[in-house]
Amino acid sequence: MKTIISSATKTRDNSIDILRSFALIAIILIHCHPDSNFVCQLTEFNVPMMVFLSGVSYALSSKNESYGSYCWKRFKRLILPAWIFIWGYGCVLSFLSSNFMAKFLLFNSIFYTYWFVWIIRVFFLIALLAPLFKKYINFINSSKKIATQLTLVYVCYEITLRYINTDFLLWNIFAQIIPYSIFFILGMVTVKTGGVKIYYTIQRSGLLIFTIIAFYYYSTSHQFIVTSAYKYPPQIYYSSFAIAIISILWMRRKSIERKMNGMLEGKVSTFFKYIGSHTIWIYFWHIPFVEFFTYTNSDMHYMAKFAIAMSAAFLIVFLQEQLIRNLNTTNGRIQKWLNILFIG
């Protein structure tokens, strides 16, 4: 197995952006509360896919730089935009009403414990561990050994879940980091192996485990249990389905990209690539819309809610990017910071 890439890759892999857009779309769709278990289940690869692709991107673009410099870059691109959005959103809510939610958002922005931003905390904490994962992978230098060790870690994690109080804050964070770190490491290993054999194995194993557990739950409850019931923290029922879907989409990513390139003279592909390269702010801007639907107890069909939230978030981000790029600030340093914070 090759040593992991240590210098940035110049050519951007557009298929990664397309898969990332699929994951984001699935996240926004589930936030619109579909009334179909089938639709809900189809979306339950979303966050694991995001983390997996983060691992792929890190392996492709990581540079030989100091740990402090790397952490500062991650802080600027993940935490600062989140703070800007949450504090801005909280201030608007405070202005419009004096309800508890606004104060809660302002306080919660520091800890990222609840609400929609828990995912930012997971991304950032895993990013802090990424250089350690890189050293681990290069040290083991065997995809089979890494897969075996990760399986053992996950088994221990699942056993521990049965005996630990997951309401404890630090354990709650720890319980999220372990499974999502495994998805991240798998993404990194993907860059090194490049073969499809391992993904056939992962795909079949994931689908087999998911099917067995789904049948067991159905036999005991007489209804299909959506894997999201075992998402907080992620458990084997949730993770097995996610890893199976991830492997299926990853193996077919180039075929998906080619088909999209052939639709409407490549405009479909361009649309999804744009979403995939602007995920953080599209994610942020969908929040006010799904919150509005919840606050007003809207009886609108979930697909209509999704269309509004997705379209509005996309349009706002597009206008936001155009505004930042056309500010024509004379200070290059300020322009650079604006690009980092509001474009990504």
Query: How much is the average pLDDT of 334-343?
Result: 87
Q: Average pLDDT over the chain, rounded to whole? A: 86
Count of all residues that appear for the chain in the document: 344
Q: Can you tell me the distance from the alpha carbon of 225 to that of 213, in angstroms, rounded to the nearest whole number? A: 10
Which tokens in the block code for residue 327? 């500010």
Q: Look at residues 15, 8, 27, 4 and name the one whose alpha carbon lies nearest to residue 279.
A: 27
| One-character DSSP codes across 149-203 | HHHHHHHHHHHHHTTS-TTSHHHHHHHHHHHHHHHHHHHHHHHHH--SHHHHHHH
- Which amino acid type is present at position 53? L
Both structure tokens of 172 = 């709650």
Predicted model pTM: 0.90
Is pLDDT of 322 > 50? Answer: yes
Rounded to whole angstroms, the Cα distance separating 200 from 246 reads 11
Check residue 7 and give its pLDDT.
43
Residue the block writes with tokens 């404890």? 168
- Which range has the worst mean pLDDT, 7-21, 63-77, 279-293, 296-310? 7-21
Question: Residue 226: which of 31, 89, 41 has the closest Cα?
Answer: 41
Rg (CA), the chain: 20
pLDDT score at 330 = 73
Would you tell me how many other CB atoms lie within 10 Å of the CB of residue 80?
A: 13
SS3 33: coil
pLDDT at 83: 87
Q: Reduce the secondary structure of 316-341 to three states and give it as a string.
A: HHHHHHHHHHCCCCCCHHHHHHHHHH
